[in-house]
């Protein structure tokens, strides 16, 4: 706490978002009961509020607005359908209610509306998935174009000796692309999981499945730069991945 139990010294960083959680809490508790510190806050606020404009404004691509308003309109439709559904649910007697043909038609329309929304949401999920894939490809291309990127053989063990793979990585970065082929397609509920091993500690960095030809890929995003890990490895795990490897290593590559 700054001197004399005031928070004046912290206020510039409060406005800049540069206090930790404890300090922020202290400032927010102090301000309502201290006119002196509030005056400092008001004196500095104008300067801090200008800072966002220090970044050059860049119009987002049309996709951003389109995706946003697809979500907004889906939200409006879902809320509207939910409101109508609630209104219907409060009717005392469904049977009597439905005897009126216009209401039956309204109910049928509502059901159609709900089904349409569900369909739209499912389409939205597919679009989101495609966006994620495109983004992943974009990151992979960026990785491939970096001069510091290296390619390491991902070698199969005796468990699946026909498997082949390559790990494309910039060891100073957190991301790597693992491409494999010749792996056995797995039954439902099973996945391949990639691991990075630091000392004796394996860290799960993602799961994937292979297609009918045994081909698969995963974009790894490690919690630390890749150079801190010694080994990358692959195991078979239950869907959702495991906290630690539960089966034998199928493929691996040494970083150093």
Partner 1 sequence: MLGRVVMMNLPERSDEELMSGVVRRESAALEILYDRYAASALGVALKILRERASAEDIVQETFWRVWKSAATFDSRRGAFPSWLFAMTRNLAIDELRRRAARQASDIDLDDAASEIPDCASDVMDAVWTQMQSERVREAIQQLSEPQRQVILLAYFQGLTRQEIAERLQEPAGTIHTRARLALQKLKTLLSGE
Does residue 19 interact with partner 1 by CB under 8 A? yes
Phi and psi at residue 206, to the nearest 5°: 135, 155
Does residue 50 interact with partner 1 by CB under 8 A? yes
48 or 113: whose CB is closer to partner 1?
Answer: 48
136 or 159: whose CB is closer to partner 1?
Answer: 136
Does residue 79 interact with partner 1 by CB under 8 A? yes
Does residue 215 interact with partner 1 by CB under 8 A? no
Which range touches partner 1 (CB under 8 A), out of 46-54, 111-119, 146-154, 179-187? 46-54
Q: What is the dihedral of CA 86, 89, 90, 96, to 10 degrees?
A: 140
64 or 111: whose CB is closer to partner 1?
Answer: 64
120 or 249: whose CB is closer to partner 1?
Answer: 120
H, E, C per residue of the chain: CCHHHCCHHHHHHHHHCCCCHHHHHHHHHHHHHCHHHHHHHHHHHHHHHHHHHHCCCCCCCHHHHHHHHHHHHHHHHHHHHHHHHHHHHCCCCHHHHHHCHHHHHHHHHHHHHHHHHHHHHHHHHHHHHHHHHHHHHHHHHHHHHCCCCEEEECEECCCCCCCEEEEEECCCCCEEEEEEECCCCCCCCEEEEEEEEECCEEEEEEEECCCCCCCEEEEEECCCCHHHCCEEEEEEEECCCCCCCCCCCCEEEECC
Contacting residue, 15, 26, 27, 233, with partner 1 by CB under 8 A: 15
> Which residue reads 């009597």 in tokens?
96
Give how many residues touch partner 1 by CB under 8 A. 48
Contacting residue, 25, 36, 39, 73, with partner 1 by CB under 8 A: 73
Contacts (CB under 8 A) with partner 1, residues 98-157: 135, 138
Does residue 64 interact with partner 1 by CB under 8 A? yes
Contacts (CB under 8 A) with partner 1, residues 164-203: 174
Q: Which residues contact 2 (CB under 8 A, 6 or more apart)?
A: 8, 9, 10
Contacting residue, 5, 32, 35, 56, with partner 1 by CB under 8 A: 56
* Cβ 80 to partner 1 shortest distance, Å: 9
* Cβ 54 to partner 1 shortest distance, Å: 5
* Cβ 1 to partner 1 shortest distance, Å: 13
Report how far residue 219's alpha carbon sits from residue 80's, in angstroms, rounded to the nearest whole number.
39
Contacting residue, 35, 55, 158, 212, with partner 1 by CB under 8 A: 55
Does residue 242 interact with partner 1 by CB under 8 A? no
Residue ranges binding partner 1 (CB under 8 A): 9-13, 15-20, 23, 43-44, 46-65, 67-69, 71-73, 75-76, 79, 135, 138, 174, 223-224
């Amino acid at each position: 706490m700054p001197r004399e139990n005031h928070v004046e010294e912290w206020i510039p960083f409060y406005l800049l978002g540069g206090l930790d959680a404890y300090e922020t809490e202290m400032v927010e508790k102090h301000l309502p009961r201290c006119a002196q510190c509030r005056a400092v806050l008001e004196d500095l606020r104008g300067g801090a509020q200008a800072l966002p404009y220090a970044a050059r404004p860049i119009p987002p691509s049309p996709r951003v607005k389109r995706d946003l308003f697809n979500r907004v309109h889906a939200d409006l439709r879902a809320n509207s359908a939910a409101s109508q559904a609630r209104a219907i649910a409060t009717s005392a007697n469904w049977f009597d209610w439905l005897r009126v043909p216009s209401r039956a038609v309204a109910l049928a329309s509502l059901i159609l509306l709900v089904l349409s929304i569900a369909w739209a949401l499912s389409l939205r999920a597919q679009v989101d998935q495609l966006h994620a894939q495109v983004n992943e490809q974009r990151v992979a291309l960026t990785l491939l174009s970096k001069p510091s990127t290296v390619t390491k053989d991902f070698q199969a063990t005796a468990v699946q000796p026909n498997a082949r793979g390559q790990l494309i990585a910039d060891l100073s970065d957190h991301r790597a692309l693992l491409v494999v082929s010749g792996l056995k397609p797995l039954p439902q509920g099973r996945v391949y999981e990639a691991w990075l091993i630091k000392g004796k500690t394996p860290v799960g960095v993602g799961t994937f499945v292979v297609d009918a030809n045994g081909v698969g890929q995963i974009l790894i995003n490690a919690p630390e730069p890749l150079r801190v890990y010694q080994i990358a490895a692959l195991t078979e795990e239950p869907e959702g991945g495991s906290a630690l490897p539960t089966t034998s290593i199928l493929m691996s590559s040494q970083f150093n």
